[in-house]
Each structure stands twice: as C-alpha cells, then as structure tokens.
Amino acid sequence: MTERLAPANPAEGLIWFTLRWTWPFYFIGALYVVGPVLAWLLAGLAAFTLYFGPVMRDGLKPRGPIPPVIWGWIFGMAVMLVVLWIGHLNWHLGTGRTIKSSIGWAKGWALLALFPLAGAVLPIRREILIRAQCIVGLWTLCLLPIMLAAPYVGLPERIFTSPFRAIGGPGPEYFSVYFFTWDPASWTPRWQFFAPWAPFAALLGVLQVCFALEESDRKWRSIGIAAGMAMIFLSKSRMGLVGVVACTLGPRLLPLVLKGWAWMMLAALTASLAVFGTWALSTLKDGVAAFKGARADSTRVRATLQRIAGERWQNEAFWFGHGTVQPGPHLVEYMPIGSHHTWWGLLFVKGLVGMLALLLPLAWHTLIVMVDAARHPRGRLPLAVIMTIVLLSFGENLEIEAYMIWPGLVILGTHAQDVAQDARRRLAAGAEVTPEAGPGPAQADPRD
C-alpha cells in the first residue's frame, strides 16, 4: 500500500504545492516567476524561524544554526552582486542597466544560496521533496502521448507566450509553452517538456531519475524513473545521456573507495592497461569524436563562443569582467558571448573574482557530499545533485536555470544540516569523555 505523505508545516506546504503544480505553472508560463518567489519566501521564513526559534512551536523550530558551507554559498553569491556592480561601473553601463541586472541577480545567482539556506534551517523532510518530484513525473507521463503525437498531427510547436513575459527575463522562451520543437540540424522533432529548451530538459530528467531512485514506494519510484528517462531520450541531448549514467552510478559506486578489494581490482585494471591501453585510448578518442559529431554544429558554436569569451576576458576585463553578456557575431549564429557555459560565461561577465565566488563554495560542498556519500547512503542524492549541477555548468548558465533545479538545491541544504548535526554530536560526545587534566590529590594511607 502506498505510504501517504502530507506536509507537516508551512515550509513543507509551500514546497509540496509548488513542486506538484510544476506542469500547471508551466501551462500559464509562470515557472520563471514562481522559482524566485518561492526562494525568497522560504529564505524569509528561514530568517524568521532563526530569529524567533526559541518561542516557536515544535513544527516550525529551526533544525539548527546555519552550517558553515551554507555561509560559504551566501558569501559567494553576495560577492557575485558586488562584482556585478563593479563591472557595471567599470564599463559605464548606467544606473538603469545596473538595477535591471541586480534584479536578475535576485532571480538567478541568489537562488543558489537561498534554497540551500531554506533546506538547512527549515524542518523540511527529503521524503516530501522526493514524492512531490515523482508526482511531477506522473504529470509528465500523462501528458506524454499528446506531446509525442503533436508533430505528426499538425499541432504547432509553440502554443503561446505568457503575459508574464512583461515581468522581464532572459528571453521569451522562459515564458512560452511548447508541444515540441524542430531540431534545425536534422529537422526532426525534439521535446523540451517544461524547460525553456531541450538540453536543459535532459538534465532535469537526470535529476528526476536521481530523486526517484531514493523513493521508498515501488510504484512512485517506477513512475519517476520512467518519466525521467523519457525526458532524457526525447530531448535528444548528449549531455543527458552522460548525466544519467554518471549521476546515478557514481554516487552508488563511491563507497567502494573504502573497500580493500576495490583497490586491488583497480590495481589489476591499471596493470592491464600496459596491454590494452593503446586500444582503449583509441576507442575512447573515437567515442569522443562520435559524441561531438552527433551535433557538430552545436559543438562548433559552443567551442567558438568559449574561445571568444576566453580571449576577451584575458585581454579586456580580467578581474571583474564585462558586467553583462554581449551580442556575438554571425560566426556563432549571433549567440551572446558569455552564454552556453557557466565558467567561461562567468569569466567574461564577472571576471576571475566572480568565477571564484562560485567555484569555492561549489568545491567545498562537493567535498562534503563526496565524503558523506562514501560513508552513508544519505549522501547519494546530494552527490547526484552536485554532479548534475557540475555537468550543467559545462553546457548551460546556472544562474538563469537555478529556478528549475531548486528541489536539488533544497536537498543540498537539508544534507548540509545533517552533516553539521553529526559533527556537533561528535564534538559533544568527545567533550563528555575527555579525561581530567591531571591526577587528583594524593590520599593518605589508611594504615598510617
């Protein structure tokens, strides 16, 4: 019998409602608005519970103080805002554009700190997030026959663009509702589901599978996995195929680093490379070439964008960047310079300082989840989320997609609090068993 889950407090209620209604929000073109609003509401609730924690009822008390790694995210994203202001001042972009870009920061980079903060402080169960994500998968499977039939029965690609576009955002695709899109390279249909474009939908499918694998109920687990795999394959994204293998197997194989027999097998495999190494290297090169050739035009455009962004960053704005993306030439099909890659985009827009503001907290958090995943099953989903984020960063811009990966960001926050609580318990236990500073005073012999 399916276990019934229900929200136990306002924070879980907000998450439960928002995540389950992902598809209805998409139908009205509101997802880009809903994500940031939810982030700031949850962060405000977290600040409220931290301030009034001692007098709040049990269901709303904070889980604990803000973990150090979450402070790292808060500081890093605050640096992003300061660097944005410096870049706009250096390039004389004007007050209007600075205000607009600051609002963009509040809807983008800020979410990478706000959602983990909410997960770390508020009493949010990961079971609620996992079940709600599987319910999104049920919506996906129910709508799949209509979307699959659309290109073959004459339905249009785009249904409409929502009036929410007036609020402002990166582009109309964030507020548009699609049945499918035509791939310009092969002129075949590909599906983007509730994402602004197909490759991003594939990475959302990877997250869907990773969440579903942690579901305790077999029925919901099967639904979530089926929906995630459909998103990966129908989006026709190479990155999604890589992600579903790496992000599901990697966290489950990591505990092997603590097993002696696994190291012996690795040593034997390394020794065998002396015989099969040339063949393996040649096969790997052929596979990489085939992978890139599967969408050669896309690979060329991305590589050229990265080269232009790198050259202009080094020569024009090394420390604080150009402040904003800039239109690209015909060579890159007029794609903005600073897009399609988080790291090269950060270097171009926010310089070395901005890039480090993301790299340092991300590396810190990655180390935490890797260590915990090697020791405890609870670390598997957070590690899968981190791996998906890293993979996403090499093909997309994280700041304009944080509004869609927010369930994973909340999971990172809840896990950070779990790890911090373990550390506090170990510290308290160590203090209790600490021996006395020295021997006590000598006692008189009773025979004297």
Q: Is 335 helix (H, G, I), strand (E, B) or coil?
A: coil
Angle between helices 68-90 and 111-121 (to 10 degrees): 160
Closest by CA to 383, choosing from 396, 392, 393, 374, is 374
Taking CA atoms, 140 is separated from 122, 188, 406, 408, in Å, by 29, 21, 18, 19
Angle at 364 between CA 422 and CA 358, to 5 degrees: 140
Q: Is 394 helix (H, G, I), strand (E, B) or coil?
A: coil
Paired residues of 385 in beta bridges: none
- Record the tokens describing residue 31, joined without a space: 């997802």
- Whether the CA torsion 226, 227, 233, 239 is positive or negative: it is negative
Asked whether the beta carbons of 355 and 347 are under 8 A apart, the reply is yes
DSSP 36-81: HHHHHHHHHHHHHHHHHGGGS-GGGS-SSSPPHHHHHHHHHHHHHH
pLDDT along the chain (448 residues), means of 10: 77 95 95 95 94 74 92 96 93 90 93 97 95 97 96 91 84 90 83 92 95 95 96 91 91 75 52 52 51 54 76 83 74 67 84 94 95 92 95 86 94 96 87 56 46
Taking CA atoms, 375 is separated from 147, 162, 200, 390, 410, in Å, by 42, 47, 31, 22, 21
Paired residues of 161 in beta bridges: 176
Phi, psi (degrees; rounded to nearest 5) at 310: -65, -45
Taking CA atoms, 97 is separated from 88, 323, 371, 427, 442, in Å, by 8, 10, 42, 49, 78
| Per-residue model confidence (pLDDT) at position 395 | 79
